[in-house]
């Protein structure tokens, strides 16, 4: 009896992984088709047109900042020359304990003002508001500490324009990211409520004066692994989901939302560890439940660069935090999972998330014990086991290669060294690195003392980021 | 390879089938998958290598072409040759377009001459007229729009009906840059049937035509504003950008007849942008409208007209119950000559909200920063008041 | 920095007359667009000036400070430091070189601020080369 169970468990585990890889391959193919459609429309006079058109909607860039004195001024400065006709920058100082506020006030000659502040969203009390007018249209909100989600809400309250871009203080914007993403909004003003952008890891790339000069792949394994992960997600999953209007997550580092919609759903959830996925899903649900026409799209040519953890310690904290956020979201949106009432979102993307993102670490962890045991006991046929594992591994590799191929048209990572490092990573990540992340996720599920809401990374300040290997 | 045959093994068909499913299929699948991987890897590597080489070459060539064309622009009788080989190079076209966009005036004539001499237009027209591929057609349409040469006008006009929205946009854009007047009617005529974002781009194009587009737009608005609001509203905003005073009288008529709120709002905004005093009575009467949008927009428009006689009415609007109306009124007062002083006075208004609106408008008008600067030189009462009201201290 | 290349020497048909003084005037051109740098470099050299270029704010600032130029053409929007900020720094370092500001931005407020700082002229992009040349001749 037990032997039967073990046999089925053993095979089921392997089949599960094959199914997961198949889902990803199909998604990659769908994304490929979506990207091809997109491809024609890029870079065709669009920048010039949108810059000179009066119908281009203005945007408020909202940046939550906590203890960012190292790089906040440079970050704001580099954001201020993004190519867009009309925008403002709203920085929320989330009760920093360092000189974040002071450095902003000094650098941009800000004045404290008493303007009416419309608290459309709840947040921790606001202490003061500063405004400046020397070249950059910047507003700084000084408030008591409440976490990233809370800081975003305060920033949204002070934002004057109908569209809001939520981002972070340590990102490097591609100069055309706003034009490219707002193009999707302009295509369909009424239905488009959100646009997600493409986040790329900055590590190992050359950055000067807050601008990316050349992208390359670092030698260190940890950031390299993440580059591959990000390429897989952002090039071979999101375009497909976006085409189905089932994008489960608009990245917190680059998310453009219609302000009125954010207000309608109550903004970001304070203290939530995965506030970006949470708000995305809530906006989906809001519209689906009311039968309102809408779409949340992903625009791969709208690029921003961000520093990703480059040590195991920091990565671990980040992944535990992400997984705990995912756990909360899975619980909150359980009713959507595989629910036909929520159409592609419930059935395909959220269902896929639940099945292959949430359950995967548990199944894999159990599989580590079940499969070898079953094999040693002679319950599993060695030959078939061998080939099936190879199928799963091969498909995983195929997914990575497909992602790299889809990324090809964007023109990054052009040296032979870069390509080979990524391909090698696609192979070796299965031997230890992936297992490590699985362990962290199991740890996250067990719970206990979680990390602080923001998981402070040691920030080097974007402007000072030297070439890392 | 060891095989542990289960104790209840049943030799025969069923066993063979199961065995096949368990071993042969995965085996086959593995072979297929790794073959595909090998292909993908090869494609990836060669694509990257090819891209890199092409990138490097294109960038180098682009720089050469830029220098070459610059010399043609700078020296009246430049003898540097431009071969037909060069003229077919897409990098040459890019360099040409970049330079064309960087200069204006006489230099454009020089560029046009180079273009004509080397058959650039004909080549792009041929590409546009081809049925596919879309990418090349689109690039050709953009190139024609950017170069802005009259000889391409008939083609562009024809392709206003193209099945691809982006191509339609580029054609309209090109016609606007050429200022090809016969196209105006065609473009305005398409306002009603075009999809929204294409229509918005068409609107931008019409602005390029200037006052020649005024009457076609007015005609369109007059016919359609009772049946739909989006198109006419956009047409009205286009008129605002064209800044042709002749539109004022017809617009006042339209305002009187308007039944749709959005049309009314757009008309008011346009009258404000045109800034003609003839509109003042109609606007002032709408300051008392029951709808806050109309009150707010009228206030804003009066600011655009700039007649000091409107100030008293606007000061009343500062005390309006609606925040947006107050804000618009304050901003309007700031734009009118003498309004700044009125706003300083309003800082002392008993109505706390009115004072706030005045303070905010003063800040936006840059008064706060100037006040700080003046304070550093020597204090004035007005400046002290503003700084105090906004919660800032004077350091003087 | 721009590399000098073989080029046609200005002949009798050159549009812009060579200046009458024997010592060449030196001009700095700072703009992040390579096309504009190339164009201005070519045009100014054809008129007989000696031209250096810079592609971002900080290097423009450094070169302007140490280079002893007779005129500087500066773009308003450059990576690193905005044009106005560069001029502010120069003024505080007592560099009095006349500055002509290039801009694509339709911003009256910035124009007023820049005149306050001693920017002598303000040219919108796209510009006419002939006009720009005339303005430069006037300043030198």
Closest CA to B145 of B91, B217, B195, B201: B201
> What is the per-residue pLDDT for A449?
59
> What is the per-residue pLDDT for C110?
64
Residue range A164-171: average pLDDT? 93
Residue A42, chain B, CB below 8 Å: the answer is: no
All partners of chain C with 3 or more CB pairs under 8 angstroms: A, B
> What is the per-residue pLDDT for C17?
57
Residue range A156-181: average pLDDT? 91
DSSP A215-247: ----SSHHHHHHHHHHHHHHHHTHHHHHHTT--
Model confidence at A117: pLDDT above 70: yes
Residue C79, chain A, CB below 8 Å: the answer is: yes
Structure tokens given for A222: 């940890």
> What is the per-residue pLDDT for A41?
61
Model confidence at C11: pLDDT above 60: no
> What is the per-residue pLDDT for A451?
46
> What is the per-residue pLDDT for C111?
67
Say if strands A211-214 and A206-208 run parallel, antiparallel, or are unpaired: antiparallel
Using a CB-CB cut-off of 8 Å, the residues of chain C touching A77 are: 80-82
Say if strands A192-201 and A254-258 run parallel, antiparallel, or are unpaired: antiparallel
Residue range A111-139: average pLDDT? 82
The answer to whether the CB atoms of A397 and B22 lie below 8 A apart is no
The answer to whether the CB atoms of B67 and C5 lie below 8 A apart is yes
Model confidence at C23: pLDDT above 60: yes
> What is the per-residue pLDDT for A135?
67
Q: pTM for this structure?
A: 0.80
Which of A98-102, A324-328, B94-98 has the least mean pLDDT?
A: B94-98
Using a CB-CB cut-off of 8 Å, the residues of chain A touching B135 are: 39-40
C-alpha separations of C69 from B107, C2, C52, C87, C95 in Å: 27, 16, 9, 14, 10
> What is the per-residue pLDDT for B84?
79
> What is the per-residue pLDDT for A465?
39
Using a CB-CB cut-off of 8 Å, the residues of chain B touching C38 are: 63, 66-67, 70
**Residues of B (57-76) whose Cβ lies below 8 Å from C:** 63, 66-67, 70-71, 73-76
The answer to whether the CB atoms of C8 and B79 lie below 8 A apart is yes
Interface test with B, best of C10, C17, C129 (most B CBs within 10 A): C129
| Nearest chain A residue (CA) to B5 | A381
Using a CB-CB cut-off of 8 Å, the residues of chain A touching C119 are: none
* Span A418-450, pLDDT tens digits: 888 999 999 999 898 989 999 999 999 887 655
* Span A360-397, pLDDT tens digits: 999 999 888 888 888 888 877 788 888 888 888 999 99
Closest CA to C40 of C125, C129, C123, C138: C129
A226 phi and psi angles, rounded to 5 deg: -70, -35
Residue C77, chain A, CB below 8 Å: the answer is: yes
Q: Tell me how far apart the alpha carbons of residues B121 and B151 are, in angstroms, rounded to a whole number.
A: 8
Model confidence at A458: pLDDT above 60: no
Residue A116, chain B, CB below 8 Å: the answer is: yes
The answer to whether the CB atoms of A189 and B197 lie below 8 A apart is yes
> What is the per-residue pLDDT for C7?
40
> What is the per-residue pLDDT for A377?
82
Which of A81, A133, A134 is opposite residue C79, by nearest beta carbon? A81
Residue B50, chain A, CB below 8 Å: the answer is: no
Residue C57, chain A, CB below 8 Å: the answer is: yes
The answer to whether the CB atoms of B1 and A378 lie below 8 A apart is no
- How many Cβ pairs closer than 8 A exist between chain A and B? 142
Mean pLDDT per 10-residue segment, chain B (396 residues): 54 69 80 92 88 84 90 81 81 86 81 84 90 84 87 93 89 90 90 84 87 92 88 91 90 91 93 91 91 92 91 91 90 88 86 85 71 61 72 49
| Nearest chain A residue (CA) to C57 | A209
Give chain A's length.
469
Residue A378, chain B, CB below 8 Å: the answer is: yes
Interface test with A, best of C34, C80, C117, C125 (most A CBs within 10 A): C80
CB A178 within 8 A of CB A285: no
Model confidence at A149: pLDDT above 60: yes
Structure tokens given for A456: 């402070």
Burial class (CB in 10 A: 0-12, 13-18, 19+), A61: buried
Query: A137 or C118: whose pLDDT is higher?
Result: A137
Q: Tell me how far apart the alpha carbons of residues A38 and A295 are, in angstroms, rounded to a whole number.
A: 16
Residue range A148-171: average pLDDT? 93
* Minimal C-alpha gap between C80 and chain A (Å): 5
The answer to whether the CB atoms of A112 and B392 lie below 8 A apart is yes
| Nearest chain A residue (CA) to C113 | A134
* Minimal C-alpha gap between C73 and chain B (Å): 15
A248 phi and psi angles, rounded to 5 deg: -80, -15
Which of A49, A387, A415 is opposite residue B173, by nearest beta carbon? A49
Task: Give residue C53's pLDDT band: very low, low, confident or very high (50, 70, 90).
Answer: very high
Q: Tell me how far apart the alpha carbons of residues A343 and A246 are, in angstroms, rounded to a whole number.
A: 9
Q: Tell me how far apart the alpha carbons of residues B141 and A310 are, in angstroms, rounded to a whole number.
A: 46
What is the average pLDDT value for chain A, to the nearest integer? 86
* Span C72-104, pLDDT tens digits: 999 887 877 778 888 888 888 888 888 998 877
> What is the per-residue pLDDT for A331?
93
> What is the per-residue pLDDT for B195?
85
Which residues fall within 8 angstroms of residue B18, CB to CB, at 6 or more apart? none
> What is the per-residue pLDDT for C3?
39
Interface test with C, best of B67, B69, B75 (most C CBs within 10 A): B75
């Amino acid at each position: 009896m037990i032997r039967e169970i073990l046999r089925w468990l053993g095979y089921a585990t392997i089949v599960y992984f094959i199914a997961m890889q198949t889902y990803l391959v199909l998604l990659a193919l769908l994304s490929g088709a979506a990207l091809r459609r997109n491809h024609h429309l890029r870079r065709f006079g669009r920048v010039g047109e949108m810059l000179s058109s009066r119908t281009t909607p203005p945007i408020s860039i909202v940046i939550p900042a906590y203890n960012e004195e190292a790089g906040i001024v440079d970050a704001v400065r580099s954001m201020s020359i993004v190519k867009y006709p009309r925008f403002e920058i709203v920085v929320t100082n989330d009760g920093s304990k360092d000189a974040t506020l002071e450095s902003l006030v000094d650098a941009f000659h800000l004045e404290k003002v008493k303007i009416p502040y419309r608290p459309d969203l709840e947040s921790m009390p606001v202490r003061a508001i500063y405004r400046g007018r020397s070249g950059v249209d910047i507003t700084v909100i000084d408030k008591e500490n409440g976490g990233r989600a809370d800081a975003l809400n305060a920033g949204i309250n002070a934002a004057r324009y109908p569209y809001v871009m939520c981002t972070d203080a340590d990102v490097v914007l591609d100069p055309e990211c706003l034009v490219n993403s707002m193009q999707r909004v302009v295509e369909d003003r009424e239905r488009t409520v959100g646009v997600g952008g493409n986040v790329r890891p900055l590590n190992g790339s050359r950055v000067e004066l807050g601008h990316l000069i050349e992208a390359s792949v670092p030698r260190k394994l940890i950031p390299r692994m993440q580059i591959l992960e990000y390429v897989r997600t952002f090039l071979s999953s999101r375009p497909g989901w976006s085409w189905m209007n089932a994008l489960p997550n608009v990245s917190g580092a680059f998310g453009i939302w219609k302000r009125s919609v954010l207000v309608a759903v109550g903004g970001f959830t304070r203290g939530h560890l995965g506030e970006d996925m949470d708000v995305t899903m809530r906006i989906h649900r809001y519209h689906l439940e009311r039968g309102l026409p809408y779409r949340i799209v992903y625009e791969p040519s709208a690029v921003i660069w961000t520093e990703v953890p480059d040590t195991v310690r920091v990565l671990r904290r980040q992944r535990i935090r992400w997984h705990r956020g995912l756990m909360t979201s899975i619980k909150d949106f359980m009713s959507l999972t595989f629910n036909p009432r929520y159409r592609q979102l419930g059935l395909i993307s959220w269902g896929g998330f639940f099945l292959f993102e949430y359950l995967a670490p548990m199944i894999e962890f159990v599989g580590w014990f079940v499969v070898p045991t079953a094999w040693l006991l002679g319950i599993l046929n060695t030959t078939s086991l061998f080939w099936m594992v190879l199928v799963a591994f091969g498909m995983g590799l195929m997914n990575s290669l497909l992602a790299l191929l889809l990324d090809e048209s964007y023109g990054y990572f052009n040296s032979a060294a870069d390509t080979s490092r990524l391909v090698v990573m696609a192979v070796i990540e299965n031997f230890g690195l992936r297992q490590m992340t699985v362990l962290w996720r199991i740890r996250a599920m067990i719970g206990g003392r979680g990390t602080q809401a923001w998981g402070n990374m040691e920030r080097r300040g974007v402007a000072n980021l030297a070439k890392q290997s | 390879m060891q095989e542990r045959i289960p104790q209840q093994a049943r030799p025969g068909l069923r066993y063979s089938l199961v065995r096949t499913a368990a071993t042969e299929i995965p085996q086959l699948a593995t072979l297929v998958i790794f073959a595909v991987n090998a292909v993908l890897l090869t494609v990836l590597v060669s694509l990257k290598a090819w891209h890199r080489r092409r990138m490097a070459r294109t960038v180098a060539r682009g720089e050469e072409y830029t220098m070459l064309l610059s010399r043609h622009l700078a020296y009246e009788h430049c003898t540097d040759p431009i071969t037909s080989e060069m003229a077919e190079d897409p990098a040459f076209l890019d360099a040409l377009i970049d330079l064309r966009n960087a200069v204006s005036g006489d230099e454009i004539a020089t560029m046009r001459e180079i273009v004509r001499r080397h058959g650039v237009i004909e080549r792009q027209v041929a590409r546009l007229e081809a049925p596919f591929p879309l990418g090349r057609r689109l690039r050709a349409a953009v190139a024609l729009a950017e170069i802005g040469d009259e000889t391409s006008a008939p083609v562009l006009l024809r392709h206003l009906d193209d099945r691809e929205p982006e191509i339609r946009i580029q054609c309209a854009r090109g016609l606007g840059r050429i200022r090809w007047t016969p196209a105006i009617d065609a473009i305005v005529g398409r306002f009603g049937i075009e999809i929204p974002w294409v229509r918005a781009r068409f609107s931008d194009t019409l602005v390029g035509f200037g006052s020649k587009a005024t009457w076609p737009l007015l005609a369109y608005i007059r016919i359609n504003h009772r049946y739909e609001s989006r198109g006419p509203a956009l047409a009205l905003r286009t008129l605002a950008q064209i800044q042709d005073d002749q539109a004022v009288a017809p617009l006042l008529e339209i305002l009187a007849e308007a039944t749709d709120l959005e049309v009314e709002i757009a008309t008011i905004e346009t009258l404000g942008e045109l800034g003609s005093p003839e509109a003042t009575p109609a606007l002032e009467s709408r300051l008392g409208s029951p709808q806050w949008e109309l009150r707010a927009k009228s206030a804003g428009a009066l600011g655009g007209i700039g007649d000091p006689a409107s100030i008293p009415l606007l000061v009343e609007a500062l005390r309006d119950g609606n925040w947006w109306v107050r804000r618009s009124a304050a901003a309007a007062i700031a734009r009118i000559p003498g309004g700044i002083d009125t706003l300083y006075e309003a800082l002392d208004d008993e109505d706390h909200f009115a004072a706030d609106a005045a303070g905010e408008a003063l800040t936006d008008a840059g008064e706060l920063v100037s006040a700080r600067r003046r304070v550093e030189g020597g204090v004035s009462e007005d400046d002290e008041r503003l700084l105090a009201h906004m919660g800032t201290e004077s350091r003087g | 920095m721009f590399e000098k290349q073989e080029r046609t020497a200005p002949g009798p048909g050159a549009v812009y007359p060579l200046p009458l003084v024997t010592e060449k005037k030196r001009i700095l051109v700072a703009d992040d667009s390579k096309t504009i740098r190339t164009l201005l470099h070519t045009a100014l050299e054809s008129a007989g000036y000696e031209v250096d270029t810079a592609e971002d704010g900080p290097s423009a600032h450094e070169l302007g400070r140490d280079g002893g130029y007779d005129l500087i053409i500066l773009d308003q929007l450059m990576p690193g430091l905005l044009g106005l900020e560069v001029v502010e720094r120069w003024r505080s370092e007592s560099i009095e070189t006349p500055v002509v500001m290039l801009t694509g931005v339709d911003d009256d407020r910035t124009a007023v601020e820049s005149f306050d700082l001693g920017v002598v002229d303000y040219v919108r992009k796209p510009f006419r080369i002939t006009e720009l040349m005339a303005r430069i001749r006037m300043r030198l």
